[in-house]
Amino acid sequence: MKAALLQMVSACSVQVNMDTADQLMAQAAAQGAELAVLPEYFCLMGQHDTDKLQIAEAFGAGPMQTALSAMAKRHGLWLVAGSLPIAVPGDASRVRNTCLVFNPSGENVARYDKIHLFHFDNGLENYDEARVLQAGDTPVCFDLPSRDCHTWRIGLSICFDMRFPSLYQQLADMGAHLMLMPSAFTYTTGSAHWEVLLRARALDSLVWVGAAAQAGTHENGRRTWGHSMWVDPWGQVVACQPQGAACVVADLNMQTLLDRRQQLPAVLPVVG
């Protein structure tokens, strides 16, 4: 299965970011991808944490969700839409950091709410997603019937989640062949930990891993690490884009996964 990570340097304008996402999806479709993955916060890297509250949409309704559905249908792609703020009913001070999945008909087929909220303070940088985010609590997989005649079970996660192996063990127990990690890693943490975490998560369960990243210096001054990366089930990096907006395509081979699991029976066999 050919799949694309859509790396972005998101701005403070939702419309600009949606246009960029659409352009990158067109590139993915032109290269024959079936699956496209946007990064965390693809729709907005705001000036303040509370900017997320201003653009939050009710689940199943709103201009961003409508546009994403239309993009998936127009480009004929499975779209894993990074993350966008989804309103919490009855609490205007919190949103969920939500990854939505659309099939090539434009239907929303899966929703994952980020479970582990980022908190980092080194004295120079301070981030605390719990100020405006409500954590999710449920691991999510979805099935993608591919042109390669396999049905890929795909596990969803977001950014900081990748530091918690127990989540990926749950996804592996649910039968995941591919784990996706839309992200917006800071430059500081990414330069130290990004690649080793992605390779470790691939090796934990002998799965394919794909991480679409924010990648550069944003309008709000935040600097993100980038390095959108595909990692194979043997923990080898097969594609990587350090910085800037880009479409990072890789051919994901189910047989590679099955062969590695036969050679090293560290997980239950998966068929599909």
Task: Reduce the DSSP state of residue 65 to 3 states and report it.
Answer: helix
- In this predicted structure, the answer to whether residue 270 has a pLDDT above a threshold of 70 is no
Task: Decide if 114 is catalytic.
Answer: yes
- In this predicted structure, the answer to whether residue 120 has a pLDDT above a threshold of 80 is yes
Question: Distance (Å, rounded) from C-alpha 252 to C-alpha 150?
Answer: 11
Task: Decide if 107 is catalytic.
Answer: no
Task: Decide if 40 is catalytic.
Answer: yes
> Could you tell me if 217 and 9 are in contact, meaning their C-beta atoms sit under 8 angstroms apart?
yes
CA distances 226 to 38, 59, 130, Å, are: 12, 28, 23
Domains of the chain and any CATH numbers: 2-263 (3.60.110.10)
User: Which one-letter DSSP state was computed for residue 183?
Assistant: B
Catalytic residue among 43, 99, 141, 159: 159
How would you class 233 by CB atoms within 10 Å of its CB: exposed for 0-12, middle for 13-18, buried for 19 or more? Answer: buried
Catalytic residue among 34, 40, 57, 129: 40
Edge-to-edge strand ranges of the sheet holding 208-211 = 141-145, 151-156, 178-180, 208-211, 228-231, 237-241
Catalytic residue among 114, 129, 141, 240: 114
- Encode pLDDT of 181-239 as tens digits: 999 999 999 999 999 999 999 999 999 999 999 999 999 999 999 999 999 999 999 99
